Amino acid sequence: MPKLQSRMLTLIAGLLSAIMPLAATTALAAGRVTWKYKIFRGSVPVEELTALAEQGEVSPTLERLMKRSGQNPTDVQEALSREVRVDQVTLDRFLNSPLGEVTLRQLSDYVHTPSRTADTQAMRAALVLSASEDDRISLIEVVQNYPAGAVVVEGDRIAEAAELLNTLQGGLQNLLEGFRLF
């Protein structure tokens, strides 16, 4: 009986160690977004950016930010909500490859922590968490799952960020093709 109890405790400890980082990351997910557009900057709750991305609803704060920056809310909505299909396991492998590291650094130029520390690690976590639900990722999901209390989005480069995210799918395809050759 003691051997069985020992195995059960080991199993429970293993499960908890696998689940706790995900729970902690979700608990630390971004609550506020600093939207930067060249010299303009404003802070909005993630919920307001989500409402724009998912329903096209523009809050008064976002409306002011968009007017100030000369951005079209419809264009921003499209960039935030554009989805890319990815397999979570393949994504994780890709992000831990040299090409994946480059992609993470590039994406972190568009979405990053206010202090610019541990940006690639935070981006990796946000991408993997985004893909874990439905094997799809979008910029709004990256923002929602970003493991920091606050996140900065370079609004003047939002279309570039969406395009780079789109090329991620191609990078994953190339990685898979490389595996098939062996």
Structure confidence at residue 182 (pLDDT): 43
For residue 47, the model assigns a pLDDT of 96
pLDDT of residue 59: 96
Q: Given this model, what pLDDT does residue 140 score?
A: 97
With a cut of 50, list the residues of the chain below it in pLDDT: 8-28, 180-182
Residue 29 pLDDT: 61
Strand partners, 44: 33
Q: Where are the alpha helices (DSSP H) in the chain?
A: 2-27, 46-55, 60-69, 73-81, 88-95, 98-107, 119-134, 139-145, 158-180
In the prediction, which pLDDT does 46 show?
Answer: 96
